[in-house]
Amino acid sequence: MVTTAEKAKHSRGWGWLSGLLQIVCGVLIAVAPHTFARVCAVMEGEAAMACHYTAQASTGIGVAIAVLGLATIVSKSERMRIGLTTGIGVLAILEVTVPTFLIGVCASSQMHCRVAALPTLLVLAILSLLCAGGFGLTDWGRINRRTRIARQAALAQKTAQ
């Protein structure tokens, strides 16, 4: 027989919302530098600017976040979801560092990659990080609460005996 505690342990909880938000953030991170927050175009015969490589790296990171978001939706285990959101959090931090430190964008403050692509990628990555942190902590809190209740119940049973 499956107990209520077991059911709660394997319930999807807010995992669907967490996963859905991560899929949206991941897809937007992947497509933004190629569409609505476009980076500078590579001119024929000229070397590609840093923002071009930032766009490529962001596409990879965005896809990875979206895939982990999908896994969060289907995952029934809270511990598994904590692992997945931690992974998403790490990827989101990586996404913050790509256009700022690791690769960068064009230096001029008026270039479209700096005006539009950089803030868009940063904001999406921060939102992804906040979602991952928020939902990860929620799952962690649920586990802790259940553990505490189980411990109190066991103690009460022991005292009654």
Interface contacts to another protein, rule CB under 8 A = 40, 49, 106-111, 114-116, 118-119, 122-123, 126-127, 130, 152, 155-156, 159
Nearest residue (CB) to another protein, 48 versus 70: 48
Cβ proximity to another protein: between 23 and 129 the closer is: 129
Q: What minimum distance in Å lies between the beta carbon of 122 and another protein?
A: 6
Q: Smallest distance, Å, CB 132 to another protein?
A: 15
- Among 157, 132, 139, 155, which residue's Cα sits nearest to residue 69? 132
Nearer to another protein, 3 or 110 (CB): 110
Q: How far is the CB of 87 from another protein (least distance, A)?
A: 23
Q: Which is nearer to another protein, 103 or 116 (CB)?
A: 116
Give min distance, CB of 28 to another protein, in A.
14
Quick one: angle between helices 78-97 and 50-74, nearest 10? 170
Nearer to another protein, 137 or 156 (CB): 156
Could you count the other beta carbons within 10 Å of the beta carbon of residue 83? 17
Side-chain half-sphere CA neighbours of 57 within 13 A: 22
b/e 25-55 (16+ beta carbons within 10 angstroms → b): bbbbbbbbbeeebbbbeeeeeeeebbbbbbb
Distance CA 146, CA 46 (A): 60
Smallest gap, in angstroms, from Cβ of residue 1 to another protein?
A: 27
